[in-house]
Chains A and B, each alone.
Chain A
C-alpha cells in the first residue's frame, strides 16, 4: 500500500536526518530516487519551489512528493510521517530537560553550546545571502561585479535600518522587500 510506504519512508527520513533543512535534501533525494517517485528534474524543481514558498524545506518536500505519488492523502500521510518522529523525540527531550535542565552537567553543556548557536544564526544568514546578495561566481576575484550588485544590498540596507533603528516588525518588511524586489530585480 503506497500510503503506508510514504509514511514509513518519511518517518525514517524524519528520524535519521540531523541538522535540519538543507542537510535533509540528500537524504530525501536518495529515498525518492530509489522508489522512482520523482525524476531528477522534478526534484530540482521541488527544491527551487521550496526556496520560494514559506516554511520548512523538508515539509515542503514531503507534502509535494506525497501529493505527486498519491494525491491529497499522500501529501498528508507523508507530512505526518515526517513530523511524527520529531514530535516524539523532541517531546522526550523537552520532558528530560525540564527534569534535569538545572543539573550542573546540562548547564555546563549549554554554556559551551549557546555561543555556538549564536554563531550558527550568523552563518545561516550568510547561506541565505548566497542566494540573493552574493553571486557565487562573483567570489572569483575577476568577477567582482556580482558582489557589488547594488540592488540586493539596497533591500538589505533598508531592512537592516528599519528593523535596527526604527524597530519595524518583520511582517511589513517582508511585504516591502517583496515590492522592492519586483521593482529592482525584474
Chain B
C-alpha cells in the first residue's frame, strides 16, 4: 500500500485527518482508536481493522507517546516517510496549539464549573466510544479459545496490577517468536529422525 512518491494533495489530506482526530482525542492515546477506526478504516479505507491492531501493538511496544507512535505508523503505511511526517505534524498540532493558547491565558479555564462539567460529559461519551472500538477490535481478533485466553488474561492483568502495557506486549511477542523457533526446531528434528529411519531401512547406514 505504501507509495513511493505521495502526492501533495494526499499529504495535506493526511495532515487534515490527523489534526481533526487530534482535536477530538480526549483522555489519552487510546481515545484515538475509535476515531481512527471510523475515519481511516471505515471511511477512507487507508488501513483495515487487522492492520490497526498490529499498529497499536507496535506503537504500544515502542517508546514515546502512543498517539504519536500510531500516527507515525499509519502515516508511513499510507504515504511512506513523508506520510509519517505529515501524520505527526497533524497529530501534534491540536495539543500544541491548545496548550499554547491556554498557557498564555492560564487560569482562565481552571475551576470553571461549566467547563469542568462539559469535559466530564465528554469523558462519559469517550468511555462508550472506546468500548465500542474495543468490541470492534475484539471481534476481528478474538475468535478461538487461544485468543480468548490472551484477551481475558490481558484484561485481568491490566485491571489488577500496575504492569506497564509495553512490557506485556513485548512479553507476548517474545512467546510468539519463541513458539515458532520451537516448532521449527521440532520439525527439523523429526525430519532428520525420519531420514535416519529410512536410511536404516535401506541398509545404507
CA distance A123 to B151 in the complex (A): 11
A118 touches B64 (CB 8 A): no
Which residues on the B side are within 8 Å of A86 (C-beta)? 62-65, 68-69, 72, 88
The residue on A at minimum CB distance from B143 is: A115
Which residues on the B side are within 8 Å of A93 (C-beta)? 58, 62, 73
CA distance A170 to B175 in the complex (A): 36
Which residues on the B side are within 8 Å of A124 (C-beta)? 28, 30-31, 33, 130, 134
The A-contacting residues of B in range 82-134, CB under 8 angstroms, are: 84-85, 88, 91-92, 94-96, 98-100, 102-104, 109-110, 113-134
Main secondary structure of the interface of A (DSSP, over half): helix
CA distance A184 to B116 in the complex (A): 12
B94 touches A115 (CB 8 A): no
B68 touches A59 (CB 8 A): yes
The B-contacting residues of A in range 70-119, CB under 8 angstroms, are: 72, 75-76, 79, 82-83, 85-87, 89-91, 93-95, 97-98, 104-106, 108-119
Which residues on the A side are within 8 Å of B179 (C-beta)? 108, 112
B173 touches A54 (CB 8 A): no
Q: Which of B54, B63, B176 has the most CB of A within 10 A?
A: B63
CA distance A85 to B53 in the complex (A): 22
Q: A15-B63, A91-B81 are in contact. Are A178 and B154 (CB under 8 A)?
A: no
CA distance A173 to B34 in the complex (A): 12
Q: Which of A110, A127, A176 is B57 in contact with, Cβ under 8 Å?
A: A110
CA distance A126 to B24 in the complex (A): 19
CB distance from B29 to the nearest CB of A (A): 5
The residue on B at minimum CB distance from A72 is: B100
A182 touches B114 (CB 8 A): yes
A55 touches B91 (CB 8 A): yes
Task: Give the interface size bracket for B toward A.
Answer: 35 or more
B176 touches A184 (CB 8 A): no
Which residues on the B side are within 8 Å of A49 (C-beta)? 99, 102, 109-110
B98 touches A55 (CB 8 A): yes
A112 touches B95 (CB 8 A): no
Which residues on the B side are within 8 Å of A58 (C-beta)? 64-65
Residues 151-166 of B, flagged 1 when their CB comes within 8 A of A and 0 if not, give 1111100110000111
The A-contacting residues of B in range 1-28, CB under 8 angstroms, are: 2, 22-28
Q: Can you report 21 residue pairs joining A to B where beta carbons are below 8 Å apart?
A: A14-B65, A19-B60, A21-B28, A53-B99, A55-B94, A67-B103, A83-B64, A87-B85, A90-B84, A93-B58, A94-B77, A108-B179, A115-B142, A120-B168, A122-B134, A128-B130, A155-B125, A163-B128, A178-B118, A181-B118, A185-B121
Residues on A lying within 8 angstroms of B by beta carbon are: 14-24, 45, 48-49, 51-60, 63-64, 67-68, 72, 75-76, 79, 82-83, 85-87, 89-91, 93-95, 97-98, 104-106, 108-129, 131-133, 152-153, 155-157, 159-160, 163-164, 169-171, 173-174, 176-182, 184-186
Question: Which 4 A-B pairs rank lowest in CB-CB distance, beginning with the nearest?
Answer: A181-B121, A55-B95, A119-B154, A20-B66
